[in-house]
Structure 1
């Protein structure tokens, strides 16, 4: 089969590799029809994260089940499935309480499983991981494009909004205008937020934020951005979505929060050394809640909204490529020419 693989910083290639095989009774083999390139993929692409050379890449596959192990009970060949970015068993202590990303039997899409940006993936513990798309929606291209962000960024933005305590009537600030931040805006709107301040530096991305429900945009940087949010909201907000993970963005998230507020964070931590925000958190009794999103916990709830037409995160995809175009897609995201890249293997 053909799959995208990492060969070093800035070097993604489409290679011929062995197709994964069903070797365990709980396995499923999935033919990938759609996948995506994630902002978190840029960490290794930019040489900021260690990774084996060469190694399969990608973690957001959608496709058709080709084969299942004898113990798989919820799926059969021909089913259309979504694959959350984390593989989970669905049965351990952590899966049972909705924390699938801490699964005691966790696995990833790399290695012998094929990587998520290739023609096939193998899913261990398929019953606990894969989510079936209802047959009546399984072949509609627009619906599938709207569903694909649920494998990661839409559920991640939702996780941040939930942990920030967003509810009907809330005023929310969203720090970051990447795909996760934009989905955080959409999630806050879905949860009933009345006012949503989108904070970022790219007008085209903030246009998407407004499409998703943002009522205000803040493009200033540093202290000027904090002052602008305080001016717009009469002293800050009770609910903050942090979707970047840098020291500066964490500091900003706490600086725009009102005393007693909550920061829901899902930005992967990077370069945080002094953690100045902890002093603000302590002094102002601001809570910090979040972490890596347990997509499997949220995916069915959000899929129901997509299928009934009340939720559509697909505008985060601003570039589409085929499998051969994946290296080009990485470059486009690295150069901020694309928010998120949709990969169509059909």
Structure 2
């Protein structure tokens, strides 16, 4: 089969690799039809994180089940499915608590199960991981593109909103205008937030934020951003979604939180070598909740809204490529020419 392979910083190649095969009774082989390039993929692409080279890449798969192991019960060949960015069993202590990212039988994409930016993957723990799309929507391209973000960014934005305590009638702020931040805006609107302040620096992305429900846009940075939000809200907001992970973003989140408020953080931490000033949280009794998003826990709930037409995160895909175009997709995201790249195989 053909797949995108990492060979080093800024070196993604599409080449022939071995097609994964069933190796366990709980495996499934999926022919990938849609996948995506994630902002977190840029860490190894830029050389900011270590990754084995060569290695398959990608963690946001959607496709058609081709073959299943003898113990798989939830899907069968021919089913349309998608899968979250972390493999989970669905039955261990942590999966039962909705914390699938801490699954004791969990796994990640890549290695001998195939990177998701390729033609086929082997999904271990298929019953706990794969989400089946109802047959009536299996070939509806608009629906499929709206469902694909549930593999990562929509579920992650939702996790931020949930942990920030967003509820009907509330005022909240979203720090970050990447795909996760934009989906955080959409999640906050879905949960009934009355006022949503989006903080970002890119006009095209903030236009999407408005489309998704942002009522106020703040383009200032650092202390100026904190002053602006404080002015807009007469003292800050009770619910902050931190969707970047950088030290500066966390400082902004703490600064705009109202005393007693909550920051829901999902940005992958980076640039925190000097530590985080927790006194900014301590002094105002601001709670910090979140972490890596267990998107599998939210999949059915969010899919139901997509299928009834009340949730559509697909506008985060601002560029579409085929498999051969994956290296160009990485370049476009790295240079901020695209918010998120859709890959159609």
Cα deviations across residues 149-194 of structure 1 (Å, max 9, x unaligned)?
0000000000000000000011000000000000000000000000
Q: Is the 8 A contact 1:250 1:277 kept in 2?
A: no
State how 1:223-238 maps to structure 2 within 5 Å: 223-238=223-238
Question: Is 1:270 the equivalent of 2:270?
Answer: yes
1:43 aligns with 2:39: no
Partner residue in 2 for 1:248: 248
Alignment-derived partner of residue 335 in structure 2: 335
Residue-by-residue CA offset, 1:87-116 (whole Å, 9 max, x unaligned): 001111100110000000111110000011
Aligned-pair distance for 1:276?
4.3
TM-score, normalised with respect to structure 1: 0.99
Q: Secondary structure of the residue that 1:7 maps to in structure 2? A: strand
Q: CA RMSD in A?
A: 0.6
Q: After TM superposition, give the deviation of residue 277 of structure 1 in Å.
A: 3.7
Segments of 5+ residues of structure 1 without an aligned counterpart are none
Aligned to 1:27: 27
Cα displacement (A) at 1:8: 0.3
Deviation at 1:254, TM superposition (A): 0.4
Identify the residue that residue 156 of structure 2 maps to in structure 1. 156
- Residues in 2 aligned to 1:337 and 1:251: alpha-carbon distance in whole angstroms: 27
- Partner of 2:83 in structure 1? 83
TM-score by length of 2: 0.99
Structure 2 residue runs of 5 or longer lacking an equivalent are none
Equivalent residue pairs, number: 345
Q: Which residue of 2 aligns with 1:219?
A: 219
- Per-residue CA deviation, residues 3-27 of structure 1 (Å, 9 max, x unaligned), is 0010000000001000000111000
> How far apart, CA to CA, are the structure 2 residues paired with 1:80 and 1:233?
45
Mapped to 1, the partners of 2:300 and 2:327 lie a distance apart of 31
Match of 2:283, SS state, is helix
Moved over 4 A (4+): none
CA distance in 1, matches of 2:2, 2:88: 26
SS at match of 1:284: coil
Q: Report the 3-state secondary structure (helix = DSSP H, G, I; strand = E; otherwise coil) of the residue aligned with 1:5.
A: strand
Instruction: Report the alpha carbon displacement of residue 273 of structure 1 after superposing the two structures with TM.
Output: 3.0
1:118 aligned residue: 118
- 1:36·1:117 contact (CA, 8 Å) conserved in 2? yes
SS in 1 for 2:107: coil
